[in-house]
Every structure is written in C-alpha cells, then in structure tokens.
Structure 1
Amino acid sequence: MFRYISLPVISLMLAGPALGQGGPSAVGVETVDVRRLAETVPIFAEVVTGRDGEVATRVSGSVSVVDAVEGNTVSEGDPLVTIDPELLSILLRRAEAEVSVAEAGLGVARARADTSRVAFDRVAGLQGTSAFSGGRFDDAQGELLEAERLIAEAEARLAVARAAEAEAAYNLERATVSAPFDGVVLEVLVNPGEFIQSGAPVVRLLDTTTLEIEASVPARFIDLMEPGLAVDATTETGEQFEVAVRALLPIETAATRTRPVRFAAPDLAEARTTAVGQSVTVMIPVDAPRDLLTVPKDALVQAQGGWTVFVVEDGAAQPRTVEIGLAVGDRFEVVSGLTDGDVVVVRGNERLRPGQEVAPVTAGLGPGPGGTAESPEASN
C-alpha cells in the first residue's frame, strides 16, 4: 500500500507525458480533513439464523407423499409432506353425522319442552277455580323443568359433536405439512409409506431470510454497543458490508468475560455463498467517537526516519515529515505535520522531487465523514 522513494517508476500514466515535455507533472491530489471516528478492534463472529429447526406433523398417519427435497428452497405455505388423508376424511364424515344426530336430538328436546310448557300453562290457568288441582300443577311443573333440562343436555351434546367435527376438519386440513416460513430444506426425515405419530419431525428447515451475525464482545466494550450502532464487517472471502447492533444478550461467559451481541445484516440474505456458521470479522469500537485529522493512505511515502507527504503549495510539491496514528479505512490519523485543508499528492508522488512543479488533478474524495478506526499495525 505504501511506496518507497527509491522504488523504480513502473507507470508514467499521469506524469510521464508532462515530464517528457518539461512542464508541470500531473498528479492526483486529495485534501486533509477532520472526521468523527472511533478506534476499533477486530472481533471474530459467525453467521447465525433466527429459525433453524425441525418441522413436525400435527396428525398421525401413513406418509403418502414427500415433496421436500434436501437443498431445495421453499416458500411459506409450500407442501413438504402429505399424510394419507383417507382415514381422516372418514373421521370427518363420522363427526358430521354425529352433529346431525345431536341437532335432531336437540329438536326433539325442544318439541317436548314446548308441549310441557303448554300443559303447564293450562293447569296454571285454572288456579283460583274449582277445577284447579295442586297435584296436577306440580306434575306439569316437574315435566316442564325436566324438558328444559333435556334441552340443556341436548345443546351440550351438540356442542361436543361440533367440536369433534372441527377437530376432524382440522386434522384433515393439516394432512399436508406445509413450510411455516421461507427457507432451505436441510434434511428430509421421513419416507413414503412410513407411519408416523402426531408431533414427529418430518423436515429440518433453515430460514435464510433472518440471517444475523453473532459476536462475543468483551464485556468492557459493551457500554459502547448501543442498538442501531453501525459497524463494518468482512467475510473470509473479503466481502465487506455494514451491519448494525440489534440486541445485546444478557449472558456473560465467565471464562472469557464476553457477551453475545447480535447484528442485523440484511445484505447477508442476498449473498449466494452465505452459510450459517460462516466466519465474519466485525470492527468493534473500543472508545467514544472523536474528531481526527486524517490523510489518505496513498499520500504516505516511506522515507528514512518515518513517513513523508508531498503537499501542494503555490503549484509545487513540498515534502513534509508526518507522524501518523490510527488507520481510518483508507486514511490515517495525522498526529503532526499537516493541517486541516492541506492538499496532498496521492498519485504520482513516488517520483516527485522537492519543489517540483505539479498540475493537481482531484483523485476522489473517498468516503464521507464518519466511520471507524484501527491501529496502523492492524491495517498493515
């Protein structure tokens, strides 16, 4: 990344033509600026998922169809396994018939109650006359109460029959085990013709839409890990992306004094090669953000005794010895030697001489303010 002044010049794409003509050398430049950053350390983490488990059948029966195939991607509601529905259909028809019987019984009980009520009203209407009989009144009243009790009993029988009908319909509807969420079939646990009991697992399904990253963060850094905090992450293959703190789990490992932190990583679901258990490195802040004066890494040239940067002043490149601190992405913290707003050479600085005239060309402003920082040793 850094170049030595004594290295031979291989490419003259920027300054070559100008040197050949004796004019100012064309060089790429950027500006020294102040950015609000926090020092970070790398923490090893891994990809995890919120849902990974066995999908079970809710009914007993013989497996008739297995639609699930290991490795296939399924959507919520897709059929995985089907239990033979014939017996379940028979049980539903029987339950429906029992409902009809119970409804008929309730009708008979209500008709009897109507008859008993008419008889009771007739006897009660004779009160105060010579035709009134206390014995007949008591008998009629008893028959009416019995008829009303039989109605309540018939209504209860009908409720039981309807519940059995609903259960039979429920079981028949769930003869097909469907995917409860989008995911990938990891394992098929049953075969056609196999008899299984209710609650038996039939498929292991992995949810690939809820992938997250979990890191064991030293407890002394937990106070800096607020939900929503964005940090940088890198996979073993070099893919870089941003993740955000989702949750701090209230568990601490006594042996390591670390706590699990979950990071939301929406970009993971779109990566074709992402796998649960995959290693990831996340950059964890170890102090509060502060304003740092930074210089592009490409501006640094190794010289005897330290680092040199060419600053453009009055159309000429003047070398300055600088002291650098933390690495900040593609920039370094400036401890001394530069000031905010200095224009420094980042392309073509390998072959410059002190005081040489240059023609500055903006090389790009790089990322905007904000980010994380790490030590220079870690960046190298």
Structure 2
Amino acid sequence: MTLCSLLRPLYFMLALMVLPTVPPLFAQERPAAVVTETVEERALAETLPVFGQVVASRDSAVASRTAGIVDEVAVLVGDRVAEGATLAVLDTELAQIELEQALADIAEARAGIAVAEAQLGRAEDARDRVEGLRNTASFSSARFDDAMSDLAAATGELNQARARLLNAEAAEQRARYTLDRARITAPFAGVVLSVAADPGQFISVGDPIARIIDINALEIEAQVPSQFAPAIPPGVTVKGVSEAGQQLDLQIRAILPTESVSTRTRPVRLSGDLDALGATLAVGQSITLQVPVSAPRAALAVPKDALVQGAQGWTVFVDADGIAEPRPVRIGVAMGDRFEVLSGLAEGDAVVVRGNERLRPGQALQAVDGAPGGGAPEEGARTPDDTQSRAAPQSN
C-alpha cells in the first residue's frame, strides 16, 4: 500500500469539512434598493446656469433735509425700524429763535401795512380835493403835482410793507420747515445697515444719517451673457437654488438696457417669494439660476441623477422588470434639473435615479420611495452635477 493510498481518505474527510463553508456559486444576492423615475416627454427649454445674488430693491442712504447739530441718534446698526420711525434728532434751539423772529417780523409788517394804507388813503383824499378844483380859479397845477407825488409815495410804502410781510411769512415757513424736519425719520420699514451721524456732529443739508434696506422688497439680480438676453421674455419662470439647497421659483421682472463692456453681460432682475431661504436670507447671498435661453419644445427628458459617466460615455440603468439593464444614451442640452435624451431611451422607461452608482448589469432591483439605504453615491463619486456643473455633457 502506497503513501498516497493511505492519505486519500484523509483528504476526502478534510474536503467534506471545508465544503459547507464555501457559498454556492449561484446563491441569490439581495436585490439592490433603488429609486426610479419615468422617462417622459416634456415641454422643455434650454437653460443656462447663471450665478445671481439677492439685492434690495429699496436701499436708501437717508439724508438730512436741514443743517444743524445732531442732538440724538435713535438707532443702532442692525435695528429693525418701521416706516416713520425716528432715526436722529437735530438741535432746534436756533430754529425756534428764527421762528420767533419771523413771527415778530410778521407782526411788524402787518402794522406797517396798516400805516401805509392810512397814508395812502390820505394821499388819495388830497389828490381828490385838488382834482375837484380843476375847473375853478383855485386850481393849482403845482399843488396837483404834489398831491400825485404824495399818492405815489404812499402807494410805494404800502407795496414795501406788503413785501416785508411776504418776507416775514417766508422766514416763518423756513423756520417751521427746519423744526418739522429736525426729526429725521425712516422713509420705509427696513433694517439699519449703517449709522453715519453721532451726537454733537454738525450735519449739512444732504449729509447721510443712516443707511436702510427694505428686507420685504428683495429681488435677485443676475448677469446674463448678452447673446442670450434677447431670447429671454419678461415674466418667464426661472428655477433657482441657494448654496444650502433651497429651491426657488422666480419670474424675470426686467432685463436692464445696459451691458458690461468687460464681461458682455446684461443685468436681469428676478422677483418671487424668497421665504424658502428662511433665516439664511441676506443681501448679497448667492443663488444659482437656470435661465431659459430658448423657446419651450417637446423633448424626452431624463433626470441628471439618472446619468452615470463611464469610459464609453453616459449610461442610464433601466429597471427592466426588476433587473438592472444599462443603456448607453446620447444626451442633448441641459434643461433645468434634466437633460434632453437624443437616443437610448423611450418614453415610459423607468430609470434609476438613486442607487445607480453601484449597480451591475443584470442585478436584481427593488424600487423604493425616497433615497435607498446604502444606495447613495459614494463620496467623491462623479455625477452629472459634479462633472458638468456649468454646461451640458457632450453628446456621444
């Protein structure tokens, strides 16, 4: 008996012990949990990603309408103020003195008018008496000339008295204007961004007191390449997203008729409900916009999340009766959060939009609602949003 024949039973026993620990070659694997969406034909417009920022439609450097010494500053930076709220108060002592002087001048002018009117009455009577003697021997041309001169002088005195009254009344109005506007108020409700005055400081007419922005009248401003601006109709809806991921629905309010020489862009103003930004809302905040630059047209559209980039181009996994079926696709322009599909898919196909990064051809699928556990892209995985954040992928 040879050594091999003696060891053969031992090898057989060891094989029987190890065999149960080896998984069967065709053991069924667990279906991959995925989220799918249906490919459908939509009226889509080509979009251009553009950066915008939140701007205030009302941003005012509130100025003083009168000159004077600042007596009180009633606000601090960051204060929220209502329309008509006091921002600062100027010293009114000099204006009060000027008002009292004007009132005294008015009284004096009125008294002067009364005296001038009396003198004018006497001058008219004297002229009438001399005029009544014209056809008699008592008439004197010299006396008549003197009477006319006195009448002209009395008329002049009355006119001067009336002019002094007008001047005094104007001085009164000026003093009251200064007093009424010594309290500088907010022209609209908003937030104080800066304060430019301090107590004791002399303020000239037009000097700024505080800067206020109206946080209830905020808009988005974006710089759009000038070659696309004519294709954007006012009022069209634009999708926007903040850096924190908040979604916005905006409307183009106006395309301003100015163009930057250096960038060849035109400013576009967009309005809409910005409440979705919540506590992060701030002037200057960055918003990414998908601006339509073509007329809407019917096209098959696939979500960006369905696209997986490989060495041969773009691929989409289709849920074919619970089995992962890869489909090479040729895509066109970006349209918001979707790409136009030129070939490779048909209307009604169920494409995988979550959990597709780890799928293998022929793998069993289980469609779930929401993001599947373990099916999210790996950190650093390339997706259409990562690789084509500013332009549509190149068609294959």
- Range of TM-score over shorter length: 0.7 to 0.9
Q: 1:49 to 1:218 in 2, by over 3 A?
A: same
Give ranges in structure 2 of 5+ residues lacking alignment.
Answer: 1-27, 371-384
Q: Deviations over 1:252-295 (max 9, x none)?
A: 33332222222234526984322222211111223332222335
Taking the aligned partners of 2:273 and 2:112, their CA distance within structure 1 comes to 60
Q: Aligned-pair RMSD on alpha carbons?
A: 4.1
Cα 1:29–1:260 change in 2 (3 A) is closer
From 77, 80, 83, the counterpart of 2:84: 77
Aligned residues: 342
3-state SS, counterpart of residue 260 of structure 1 = strand
Give the aligned partner of residue 131 of structure 1: 138
What SS does the aligned partner of 1:187 have?
Answer: strand
| CA distance in 2: counterparts of 1:141 and 1:291, whole angstroms | 96
Q: Write out aligned runs for 1:104-183 (5 A).
A: 104-183=111-190
Give the 3 Å change call, closer, same or farther, for CA 339–124 of structure 1 in structure 2: farther
Which of 18, 38, 50 is the matching residue for 1:43? Answer: 50
Higher relative contact order (CA 8 A, sep 6+): 1
Q: Secondary structure at the match of 2:166?
A: helix
Q: 1:80 corresponds to which letter in structure 2?
A: L
Residue 200 of structure 2 is aligned to residue 187 of structure 1: no
The aligned amino acid for 2:56 is T
Q: Which amino acid aligns with 1:156?
A: A
Task: Give the residue type in structure 2 aligned to 1:173.
Answer: D
Is 1:249 aligned to 2:256, yes or no? Answer: yes
2:233 matched to which residue of 1?
226
Residue 165 of structure 1: how far off its partner (Å): 0.6
Q: Which moved more, 1:260-269 or 1:280-289?
A: 260-269
Work out whether residues 59 and 197 of structure 1, in 8 Å CA contact, stay in contact via their aligned partners in 2.
Answer: yes
TM-score, length basis structure 1: 0.74
Counterpart secondary structure, 2:51: strand
CA distance in 1, matches of 2:69, 2:355: 77
CA distance in 2, matches of 1:165, 1:118: 36
Tell me the residue number matched to 1:52: 59
Compared CA separation, residues 210 and 89, structure 1 to 2 (3 A): same
Cα deviation code 1:210-242 (max 9, x no counterpart)? 322222211211111333232112111111212
3-state SS of paired residue (2:161): helix
- TM-score, length-scaled by structure 2: 0.71
Q: Tell me, yes or no, if the aligned pair for 1:327 and 1:376 is still in contact at 8 Å.
A: no
* 2:16 alignment partner in structure 1: none
**Aligned 8 A contact 1:66 1:82 in 2:** yes
| Distance (whole Å) between structure 1 residues aligned to residue 354 and residue 169 of structure 2 | 86
Other structure's SS at 2:106 match: helix
Larger radius of gyration: 2
